Amino acid sequence: MPTVTLIGYRGTGKSTVAAALAQRLGCPWWDADVELERVVGMSIAALVREQGEPRFRDEESVVLEELLAKPSGVLATGGGVILRPGNRERLRERGGCVVWLTAPGPVLRRRLAADPTTASRRPGLTGADPLAEIDAALANREPLYRECSGVVIDTSIESPESIVASILRVLEAPKTSPRPRTPHEPD
């Protein structure tokens, strides 16, 4: 079971934070999207285009199951992994400390627009431009992310190093006390 599992919408910094956190913890980390692409032998965009979103979600669930069986480490999930009830249950039961990384729509649009891999690695799933679908997707997914997470961190104003420090404080907190609030946690 991973020590920490990061969930959140695309562009919230899951992979960046996972790599930095794993380095600080001295443990391995996995990017579920990279693992999925390795398993299926094509990009997520190609998989969605050629075989459809349901097939992509099936493969995503299989990869999640395999990664949650790994020994301690840090797992960065795909942004939509929480869409299936079975995945949410797996995350709650076997995801370790599940951290929801958040950012407002305008910040995500700016980050995704600046990322040259957005078109090839982050396909729009509604048929709309990936930048145009952010607000609706965030509204639909927010309760699902909240259902799975024990910690919420807004990544829009904190550096990856600060986010890692916040997660480390949560991991070091006594298990019997209420979970510490993280900086800039939304209500």
Strand order in the sheet with 4-7: 29-31, 74-76, 4-7, 97-102, 151-154
Question: Which of 56-65, 114-123, 143-152 has the weakest average pLDDT?
Answer: 114-123
Does the residue 147 lie in any domain? yes
Give the model confidence (pLDDT) of 34-74 as tens digits: 999 999 999 998 999 899 999 999 999 999 999 999 988 99
Closest by CA position to 9, among listed 77, 74, 65: 77
Confidence of residue 94 (pLDDT cuts 50, 70, 90): very high
Confidence of residue 133 (pLDDT cuts 50, 70, 90): confident
Please give the tally of structural domains in the chain: 1
Q: How buried is 151 (Cβ within 10 angstroms: 0-12 exposed, 13-18 middle, 19+ buried)?
A: buried
The CATH number of the domain holding residue 52 is: 3.40.50.300
Counting DSSP H helices and E strands in the chain, the numbers are 9, 5
